[in-house]
Amino acid sequence: MRPFGPMPPLSRLDVPQQDFARAPEGTPTLKNGYATRHARLIAMLSAAGLFAYGLYEMIAVVSAGGITPLEAVMVFFFAITFAWIAASTSFALAGLLSPPATPSPPVPDQPLRSRTAIVMPIYNEDADMVAASLQAMGEDLARIGQAHAFEIFVLSDSNQGDCLVRETLAMERLAAGLAGIMPVWYRRRPINHAKKAGNIEDFVSRWGGRYDFMLVLDADSLMEAEAVLRMAARLEAEADLALLQSVPRLFDGNTLFARLQQFASAVYGPVVAGGMAAWSGSDGNYWGHNALIRIRAFAASCGLPPLPGKPPFGGPVLSHDFVEAALLRRAGYRVEMATDIEDTWEESPPSLIATAIRDRRWAQGNLQHSKIIGAKGLATASRLHFLIGIMSYLASPLWLILILVGLVLAVQARFVTPVYFGEDYQLFPNWPVFDAERMLALFLFTLFVLFVPKFAGMLRAIFSRRLRRGHGGAAAIAASTVLEILLSTLYAPIMMLLQTRHVWDVLRQRDSGWSPQGRRGAHEAWGALWKTHRGHAAFGLVLAAVAALVSPAILAWLSPIVLGLVLAPVLSRWSASEKIGLRLARMRLLLIPEELVRPGIAGRRDEILEAQPGFEQDALAALASSAELRQAYEAWLTPPPPNERGDADRYLLSAGKKIGDAHDLAEALAWLDEHERLAVAAHPAEVERLAALAARAAREERAA
């Protein structure tokens, strides 16, 4: 067996750790063109104009009777939150009002000269789905005659025994399915040092010298061959382009929450992505997947040192993608978004709970960037990407503070006796004045600014014949937009409190760990939902009671927030409902083009999944009961590293004792805990001992 399992010979590249305190010397100067400068000017002027007007109106609302200290606090937090809204909208406006970007070249008709690794990092994922997606992509590349330029690498960090068995067998099937078309390589790390970033770095340092580029995917990624080919052709033609990020569309979700996200991604997403691409120019960002990267540039520029201190702010960089984009740009390479390259997809988390679990890790990773944003030599746009990521989570606690300060002001105005005459015994009283009419106008203006990208996306879809048909018609688009706005308004306060808790946990030095991503819808039990959301519902009830006590008008203002929080358990359960999602689809609401005309590559993935044998039973039991499975498994299993002299694997030892004492396979498997199951799965000799138990039981059954 090869020393690294089914992998090619080593082809090492140095991946030096980067120094955030010192900029690299001798990097070439890279300037953005006229279109990018034009977009940045639009973004800056529109953001400044929107912010100035909003702040002026807010000050006017509270200043008629003089600004109290508490009102000054409210103005301060309003300024921060409104600046965030204004900046987000101005970025979208930059894309709408800027010259169109230069399109990517068409699909080349000549064979590619480069060699690309299709890299799939996985961590306790649905291995059958991963293998089916990769096989469909490999076959699609063969269809256009470019399979010679690609090889598939599956890089596993899985640490669950059943996942290890299933993914190893899935890789054997994948290799058989692509035999004669494309090489398939598979490696599992027994210790997932530095998480996903370490997984990629390990691959680059050991085998990166074999390739020119790597196409980094996520477990739910899918890309058509033409999209991959256009990206590879661009990197071949443009030597200073180190990273090309596609804009994947969300698809294949049937739950209510997934369908909301899919519709928003399809209708509003191009407006937001177009704006980001316009003002970023060659100072673009990286989202960690569905992107093509020049490997040698990555190796030389993107070695990530652990951050000083303990997690959550210290330790391995979790949101590594933003940092790697910034380091490539610092090294003088271009990092760009390819908004015109379509047929690239990913999947949405299926529920509010699944999104919150993912967000916890992302919140920690983005807040870690506060230690990197000041690194020497970064482009200003790279620092802005970091700031946007940080603010995407800080915005929630800031919004919560603004709500609470506003409510305290309302309570004060209702119940605290005002001091009409100060200590200076002035002639006229200090009447507490609050310009309600102006406040209503400011509220409506804020909503307008907030919804500009959504309305722009809706109009874009309605006036495009192709998009209009893909989303079910103009009426369906308009109705779906209204529905999406209403539901997202109800979910927003729940996400506000969830993200506020995430930020608070990070500030309290609580590490998120690295949980596998939930990718399939499943109803949470009411007990679990109540445990998660009881605080949200209670806060909503308190908010409603205080607002009603102060004024019915205040309660009306806060009703969307109150309603979302009070109904949080119900809304959370609905979010995971495929029944609701499919019912909306039958009503032609929240439709996306992929539902009306299924992409060919997705259809092929479906066919491969249906044809896969699979097994529903315990994975170790299936392995122990089939010599054919064991032979395939052992051929593809990454061998465990040898123990140091005198060092024993306690889980392997305890598993061996339990297997030796067991009377049959069922008893042995019942005794093994999760750590022991992993140890057994990683050692073929122990699997064979399980097989001996299964064989003995079969002999006894025949004899009886």
Strands across the sheet containing 150-156: 184-188, 150-156, 116-122, 213-216, 291-294, 241-246, 334-338
The sign one gets for the Cα dihedral 388, 392, 396, 399 is positive
Q: Answer yes or no: is pLDDT of 196 > 50.
A: yes
Model confidence at 232: pLDDT above 90: yes
Q: Which of 223, 228, 230, 238 is nearest to 294 (CA)?
A: 238
Average pLDDT over residues 244-265: 97
Q: Is the pLDDT of residue 220 over 60?
A: yes
Structure tokens at 694: 């299964």
**Among 255, 240, 210, 305, which Cα is nearest to 9's?**
210
Please answer whether residues 204 and 295 qualify as being in contact, where contact means their C-beta atoms are separated by less than 8 angstroms. yes
Residue of 82, 69, 85, 60 lying closest to 405 (CA atoms): 69
pLDDT for 701: 75
Summary count for the chain: helices (H), strands (E): 27, 10
Count of C-beta atoms within a 10 Å radius of residue 418: 12
**pLDDT tier at 521 (50, 70, 90 boundaries)?**
low
Q: How far apart are CA 683 and CA 612, in angstroms?
A: 25
Which residues in 521-647 belong to E strands, given as ranges?
A: none
Question: How does 288-310 read in b/e, with b if 16+ C-beta sit within 10 Å?
Answer: bbbbbbbbbbbbbbbbbeebeee
Q: What is the mean pLDDT of residues 151-165?
A: 96
Is beta strand 150-156 parallel, antiparallel or unpaired with respect to 184-188? parallel
**How many whole angstroms separate alpha carbon 123 and alpha carbon 220?**
12
* CATH 3.90.550.10 domain position(s) in the chain: 116-248+287-345
Distances (CA, A) of 649 to 164, 411, 659, 670, 671: 18, 63, 15, 20, 18
pTM, 2 dp: 0.94
Looking from the CA of 496 toward its CB, the CA atoms found within 13 Å total 25
pLDDT at position 94, please? 92
Q: For the segment 390-399, what is each residue's pLDDT rounded down to a tens digit? A: 999 999 999 9
Q: Does the pLDDT value for residue 515 go beyond 90?
A: no
Q: What is the DSSP letter of 644?
A: P
| Helices 526-550, 380-415: inter-axial angle, 10-degree rounding | 60
Measured distance CA(381)–CA(81) in Å, rounded: 21
- What does the buried/exposed string (b/e) look like for 499-530 if buried means 16 or more CB atoms within 10 Å of the residue's CB? bbbbbebbeeeebbebebbbbbbeebeeeebe
Burial class (CB in 10 A: 0-12, 13-18, 19+), 127: buried
The band of 545, judged by pLDDT with boundaries at 50, 70 and 90, is very high
CA 598 – CA 136 distance, rounded (Å): 14
- Residue 638 to residue 156: CA distance in whole angstroms: 10
Nearest Cα to 196, choosing from 157, 227, 163?
157
The answer for residues whose C-beta is within 8 angstroms of residue 529's C-beta and 6 or more apart is 353, 569, 572, 573
Architecture per CATH, domain 116-248+287-345, reads as Alpha-Beta Complex (3.90)
CB-count burial class (<10 Å; 0-12, 13-18, 19+) for 383: middle
pLDDT for res 209 = 98
Given pLDDT bands bounded at 50, 70 and 90, which one contains residue 517? low
- The predicted structure's pLDDT at residue 429: 46
pLDDT band at 213 (very low <50, low <70, confident <90, very high): very high
